[in-house]
Chain A
Amino acid sequence: MAEINREDVAHLARLAHIDMSSEELDRMAGELAVIVDSIKSVSEVAGDDVPATSHPIPLSNVYRDDVVGETLSNEEALAGAPDNADGRFRVPAILDGE
C-alpha cells in the first residue's frame, strides 16, 4: 500500500479546501505517515466473505409524511451568515476574472 507523502498531503489539502504553508505540509506529512502506517493493517483483516457495516443498528428506510414541518424563517436562516443580500447568502466570485 502506498505511503502518504508531502505531495499527497498537498493534493488532499487542496481537495479539502484548506490552505497549508510549506512548513505545515512538512509537519502534517510526517504525522500522517505515522498514523497511516499504524492503521493500514486494517485493510488486510477481513476477507471478501465479510459484509461491510455502515450503520451500527440495522434500520430500513425511514419516511415521514410529505407535509411541511417546522422551518426556519428567511431571517433565521441568514442570521449566522458572514454576508447576505436581498434575503440570500452573498458569496464571493465563483469564477476568476469576472
Chain B
Amino acid sequence: MSEIIRLSAAALAQKLQSREVSAVDATQAHLDRIAAVDGSINAFLHVNTQEALLVAAEVDKARADGDTLHPLAGVPIAVKDLIVTKGQPTTAGSKILEGWHSPYDATVIRRLREARMPILGKTNLDEFAMGSSTEHSAYGPTRNPWDLDRIPGGSGGGSAAAVAAFEAPLALGTDTGGSIRQPGAVTGTVGVKPTYGGVSRYGAIAMASSLDQIGPVSRTVLDSALLHEVIGGHDPHDSTSLTDPVGALVEAARRGEVKGLRVGVIKELSGEGYQTGVLNRFAESLDLLRSAGAEIVEVSCPNFKYALGAYYLIMPSEASSNLAKYDGVRFGLRVVPEGAPTIERVMGATRAAGFGDEVKRRIILGTYALSAGYYDAYYGSAQKVRTLIQRDFNAAFTQADVLISPTAPTTAFRLGEKLDDPLAMYLNDVATIPANMAGIPGLSLPNGLADEDNLPVGIQLLAPARQDARLYRVGAVLESLLEDKWGGPLLAQAPEIAGVK
C-alpha cells in the first residue's frame, strides 16, 4: 500500500508544503486506492478523477510559482452525496435524483475550492440521509472495511468507510441524529457534528432543517479540526448560520489539555442495551482521562429517555415537508402513468417509484404527526421535550465542562440484520440524538476494539453550544493516550481489505 494514503491530512499537508510530495501524486495515490478497493467497499457513488487531478496540478503549479496557498491546498477530500456540487452528479442516495446535476455549489464546497482541495468524488449514504447503516441507499450498501459483511454505519457510511479504507484522508458528512458520529464509531474513525449553525447548510439537501449539520470526517482529531476551520464560519446564504468566528480549533487540538477538567458521564447513556465490549472500552477511556488529571463526575439527564421518541416525531415532520419538493416538475425523476394523467397522478407515480421504503415510512409518519388533530399531541409535544433535553444539558454543563458517553450502543452489526425492524435500527442513534435536539457540538473518536467481536468502538464527547474547541482539546488528549497504549492508530490494526485488485 502506498505510504501517501496512510498519512494523516496534517502530515500530508506538510509534505505538500515542503514539496516532498506533489498534489498530483497525492491525488493519484488516492484515486488508485479507490480503483483497487472500492469494488469491495462501495463508498463512492461517483469518482471525480479529471477535476481532482486538474485542481491538484494547479496547486503544484501555484506552489512552484511561490504563491501563498491554504495549508490544506492539495489535500484530497471525499464529499457525502447529500451535498450539492457543480460538475458532479448529486443523488442523495435516491433514485429520484439519479443523474441530477446541481446548478450551484454548496457553501462548504465553495470553501473547499477556495482552499484548493481536490474533490475525489461523492460518497454513498442512506437515501436522503435516512438510516444508520447505508443499507437504505438506492445504489447498494457500503461495506465496513473492518469486516465486509458488516454495516459501516449511517447515514454517512460512505464517507466514514472511505476514510477508514484509506481512499481519502478527509471527508464531509452530515449529521441529523448521529450520521457523522455513529459511522465514525463503527469504522474506527473520527467524526464531528459542529454546533448547529457553525457550518453553513446552504447546499446540503435538507432532511430535518432544525437538526441537520455538516461536519468533518477524518482519521485523527487534529485532521477534523483542520477541516472544520475550512468549512466553518458565517454564511449569509444560510439564515441559521451563526455570526461567531469559527474559533481556534486547530490550536485546541494541538494543545490538548484535560488537567482539572470536569468530565461528566451521562448516567442515562449507559447500561442496558449497551454491548459489554463498548462499556469496557468506555470505562478504560475514563481511567485514561482520570490518569491525565481530569475529574470524572456523574451527571443525570432524566429526559433523555424521551429523546428518541421526540426525534422520531420532529425529524419525520420536517422531512415530510422538505421532501415535498420532489414532485417531478423542477428536477429529478418524472414517471408518467398510462393514459392522459393529471399532475397529481404523475406526482403519486413519481414519488412511489423514486423513493425507497424508509423515505416513504418517514414521510407518512411526518404527515401523520403534522395532520390536523394530532399536531399539538405529536409535533408540539416533541418540541416541548426538546426544551426539556436542553434543560438537562444546561444543568449537566454546570457540573461538567464536557460530557462523555459511548457513541453507539453496539459495534457494527451484520448487513441485513436490522433491515426488517425499523425500530431496532432507530436505537443505534440513542446516544447521538440528544446533541442534535439541543444544537450542541459532539465528537466521536475510536477508543478500542470490543473484546467479543474485535470491531471498533467509539466514544463521544459533547460540549455546550459554541464551545466546539473543547471537543478538540479533550479529544486530542484522549486520542494520544489511547494511541500510546495501542502503540499506534487503531486503524493500523484493521485487516487488509478482501478482494483487493
Residues of A at under 8 Å CB distance from B?
1, 4, 8-9, 12-20, 28, 31-32, 34-36, 38-46, 50-57, 59, 62, 64, 72, 76-77, 79-83, 89, 91-96
A-B CB contact pairs (8 Å), 25 listed: A19-B349, A19-B351, A28-B360, A35-B365, A38-B423, A42-B309, A43-B377, A45-B306, A45-B385, A46-B381, A46-B384, A52-B380, A52-B384, A53-B390, A55-B210, A56-B439, A56-B440, A57-B196, A57-B240, A72-B104, A77-B103, A82-B328, A89-B329, A93-B341, A95-B342
Contact A42 B329 (CB under 8 A): no
Q: State whether the Cβ of B327 lies closer than 8 Å to any Cβ in chain A.
A: yes
Partner of B423 from the list A4, A28, A35, A83 (CB cut-off 8 Å) is A35
Contact B239 A62 (CB under 8 A): yes
Q: State whether the Cβ of B48 lies closer than 8 Å to any Cβ in chain A.
A: no
Given A16-B351, A28-B361, A57-B242: A45 in contact with B367 (beta carbons within 8 A):
no
Given A13-B364, A92-B336, A96-B342: A52 in contact with B386 (beta carbons within 8 A):
yes
Given A52-B386, A94-B343: A76 in contact with B333 (beta carbons within 8 A):
no
Cβ contacts B172-202/A at 8 Å (1 or 0 each) = 0000000000000000000000011100000
Partner of A32 from the list B195, B364, B440 (CB cut-off 8 Å) is B364
Using Cβ atoms and an 8 Å threshold, which residues of chain B touch A81? 329-331
CA A20 to CA B388, docked complex, whole Å? 38
Given A17-B347, A80-B100: A42 in contact with B387 (beta carbons within 8 A):
no
If A44-B381, A82-B328, A82-B333 are given as contacts, then 19 extra A-B residue pairs at C-beta distance below 8 Å, sorted by A number, are: A12-B368, A15-B371, A16-B367, A17-B348, A28-B360, A31-B422, A32-B364, A34-B422, A39-B312, A42-B309, A42-B310, A42-B378, A43-B378, A45-B381, A62-B239, A64-B236, A80-B101, A81-B330, A89-B330
CA A94 to CA B342, docked complex, whole Å? 5
Using Cβ atoms and an 8 Å threshold, which residues of chain A touch B197? 57, 59
Using Cβ atoms and an 8 Å threshold, which residues of chain B touch A64? 236
CA A42 to CA B378, docked complex, whole Å? 7
CA A40 to CA B378, docked complex, whole Å? 7
On chain B, the number of residues with a Cβ less than 8 Å from chain A's Cβ atoms is: 73
CA A59 to CA B198, docked complex, whole Å? 13
Using Cβ atoms and an 8 Å threshold, which residues of chain B touch A12? 364, 367-368, 371
> Which of A39, A44, A64, A96 has the most chain B CB atoms inside 10 A of its CB?
A39
Using Cβ atoms and an 8 Å threshold, which residues of chain A touch B383? 52-54
Residues of B at under 8 Å CB distance from A?
100-104, 195-197, 210-211, 236, 239-240, 242, 303, 306, 308-310, 312-313, 320, 324, 327-334, 336, 340-344, 346-349, 351-352, 355, 360-361, 363-365, 367-368, 371, 377-378, 380-388, 390, 422-423, 426, 436-440, 465
The minimal Cβ–Cβ distance linking A66 to chain B, given in whole angstroms, is 13
User: Interface on chain A toward B: helix, strand, loop, or mixed SS?
Assistant: loop
> Which of A32, A45, A92 has the most chain B CB atoms inside 10 A of its CB?
A92
Using Cβ atoms and an 8 Å threshold, which residues of chain B touch A28? 360-361, 364
CA A89 to CA B329, docked complex, whole Å? 7
Partner of A1 from the list B312, B349, B377, B423 (CB cut-off 8 Å) is B377
Using Cβ atoms and an 8 Å threshold, which residues of chain A touch B360? 18, 20, 28
Contact B327 A51 (CB under 8 A): no
Given A15-B367, A32-B368: A76 in contact with B361 (beta carbons within 8 A):
no
Using Cβ atoms and an 8 Å threshold, which residues of chain A touch B368? 4, 8, 12, 32, 36
Contact A39 B313 (CB under 8 A): yes
Contact A80 B103 (CB under 8 A): yes
Using Cβ atoms and an 8 Å threshold, which residues of chain B touch A16? 320, 324, 351, 363-364, 367
Using Cβ atoms and an 8 Å threshold, which residues of chain B touch A42? 306, 309-310, 313, 378, 381-382, 385
3 nearest CB pairs, A to B? A56-B439, A46-B384, A82-B334
The minimal Cβ–Cβ distance linking B354 to chain A, given in whole angstroms, is 9
Given A45-B306, A45-B385, A50-B388: A93 in contact with B332 (beta carbons within 8 A):
no
Using Cβ atoms and an 8 Å threshold, which residues of chain B touch A50? 384, 387-388
Contact A19 B352 (CB under 8 A): yes
The minimal Cβ–Cβ distance linking B377 to chain A, given in whole angstroms, is 4
Contact A41 B306 (CB under 8 A): yes
CA A8 to CA B367, docked complex, whole Å? 11
Given A46-B387, A57-B439: A18 in contact with B363 (beta carbons within 8 A):
yes
CA A17 to CA B348, docked complex, whole Å? 4
Partner of A46 from the list B312, B352, B385 (CB cut-off 8 Å) is B385
Chain B, Cβ-Cβ closest to A54: B383
CA A20 to CA B334, docked complex, whole Å? 17
Using Cβ atoms and an 8 Å threshold, which residues of chain A touch B336? 92
Contact B439 A93 (CB under 8 A): no
Contact B352 A56 (CB under 8 A): no
Chain B, Cβ-Cβ closest to A34: B423
Using Cβ atoms and an 8 Å threshold, which residues of chain B touch A20? 352, 360
The minimal Cβ–Cβ distance linking B27 to chain A, given in whole angstroms, is 28
CA A58 to CA B38, docked complex, whole Å? 43
The minimal Cβ–Cβ distance linking A8 to chain B, given in whole angstroms, is 7
CA A83 to CA B210, docked complex, whole Å? 33
Chain A, Cβ-Cβ closest to B349: A19
Using Cβ atoms and an 8 Å threshold, which residues of chain A touch B384? 45-46, 50-53
Using Cβ atoms and an 8 Å threshold, which residues of chain B touch A32? 361, 364-365, 368
